[in-house]
Amino acid sequence: MKFIVSSGNLLKNVNLINGVINTNNTIPILDNFLFEISDNNLKITGSDLETTVTTTMEVESADSAKVAVPSRMLSDMLKTFPEQPLTFIQKEDGLMEIVSEQGNYQLALESADEYPSAPEVDDASTVSIQAGILAEAISNTLFATGNDELRPVMTGVFFQAGTDNFKFVATDAHRLVKYTRTDLGAEEPADYIMPKKPLNLLKNILSGSNDDVKIEYNKINTRFTFQNIVLICRLIDGKYPSYDAVIPKENPNVLTINRNMFLTSLRRVSIFSNKATNQVRLKLAGSLLTINAEDLDFSSKAEEKLPCDYNGGDMQIGFNSKFLIEVLNNLNSDDITLEMSEPSRAGIIKPVDGLVEGEEILMLVMPVMLNA
């Protein structure tokens, strides 16, 4: 095997799939990238068995071959080069020589035959989504996924495709996000749970593009095809919680407030909250919102009053400031509404502005019991 490639282009493609490589693989071959050369194209594959990502790029080569190349050493080396052509030459003794303008380097190769094959996605349903829309859906939901391995279905994002809408849902039981696109739809209704790791990879891959992403899925795997990149991952097996059941339908108490003003106030006040509960108290009366927090163990407390637009009866409700701040931080609107029914039921946060046509965002935060 011999090929010549742009160092910058190779680094760009390696960076796209580097995130799939685990730092502590139990199978040594997975510490490598699979390089496959044919027809002046280099196909690079990275895998952790659950997720496989491939990218294809043009190179100069008359060969047809495949080898496994150490991923970390290759990535670290490529980061140090200015833009230039690099020549890769496979030696007979299981080594790869790399020739640059600065010098020569040598890597030990592994047998490509040991590299696991990517799973097939048979009998798949298909839907196409614009890359920017999918990236936005992932960004709006991923932060709300759980980390509890005993409840694996809640560690991923629920993709729910209808014939006239597409919903993306995430929850960790403390907060919930439902991101809906009414401008999307599938030929047949379907739903599946996407793991967190491939979604993080997709978010970075899709950033800033308006090209379409082809999604093929069956009950076990899903495949995302975008430009020169293919990502295949195993879906999370299980039934997603009935999320609509936890969203209160009647919420007569509605607070409308500037998101950034509310957010910065919460950040300040929460510094004085109890470190175990992160509890902040919201007191609503007329056109005034009072936010306070205290930590009795350290005799610290804080209170701020903010102007707001409030329709509803006087009430006090407690929230974990950490979750409330994170929800507000993941919205881009100038103003938000906080809809509530009573202090023991969830608060629903929605953006007032900043949405495009066909986009709906609902974020829910569970309350905490207020101290007397």
What are the b/e assignments for 65-88, b being 16+ CB within 10 Å? ebbbbbbeebbebbeebeeeebeb
Q: Among residues 187, 191, 189, 218, which one has the least CA distance to residue 123?
A: 218
- Mean pLDDT over 228-232 rounds to 96
Helices (H), the chain: 7-18, 71-78, 131-141, 196-206, 259-270, 321-329
- What would the pLDDT profile of 15-39 be if each residue is shown by its tens digit? 999 999 998 888 999 999 999 999 9
- Residue 103 Cα distances to 81, 272, 292, angstroms: 11, 58, 63
Rounded distance between C-alpha atoms, residue 155 and residue 152, angstroms: 5
- What would the pLDDT profile of 152-191 be if each residue is shown by its tens digit? 999 999 999 999 999 999 999 999 999 999 998 888 888 9
- What would the pLDDT profile of 60-117 be if each residue is shown by its tens digit? 998 889 999 999 999 999 999 999 999 999 988 889 999 999 999 999 999 999 999 9
Asked whether the predicted pLDDT for residue 372 surpasses 60, the reply is no
Strand extents, DSSP E, 74-153: 85-90, 95-99, 104-108, 125-130
Are the C-beta atoms of residues 340 and 285 closer than 8 Å to each other? no
Domains and CATH numbers, the chain: 2-114 (3.10.150.10), 125-244 (3.10.150.10), 247-368 (3.10.150.10)
Q: Among residues 140, 128, 145, 188, which one has the least CA distance to residue 360?
A: 140
The model's pTM: 0.91
**In the block, residue with structure tokens 């014939």:** 163
At 133, which amino acid appears? I
| Strands 315-320 and 335-340, sheet pairing | unpaired
Rounded distance between C-alpha atoms, residue 192 and residue 195, angstroms: 10
Quote the tokens at residue 195.
């793991």
- Mean pLDDT over 297-314 rounds to 95
**What are the backbone dihedrals phi and psi of residue 257, each rounded to the nearest 5 degrees, phi first?**
-155, 155
- What would the pLDDT profile of 203-224 be if each residue is shown by its tens digit? 989 987 889 999 999 999 999 9
pLDDT at position 158: 97
Q: Among residues 140, 205, 148, which one has the least CA distance to residue 177?
A: 140
- Mean pLDDT over 222-246 rounds to 95
| Strands 175-181 and 221-226, sheet pairing | unpaired
At 237, which amino acid appears? D
Are the C-beta atoms of residues 67 and 90 closer than 8 Å to each other? yes
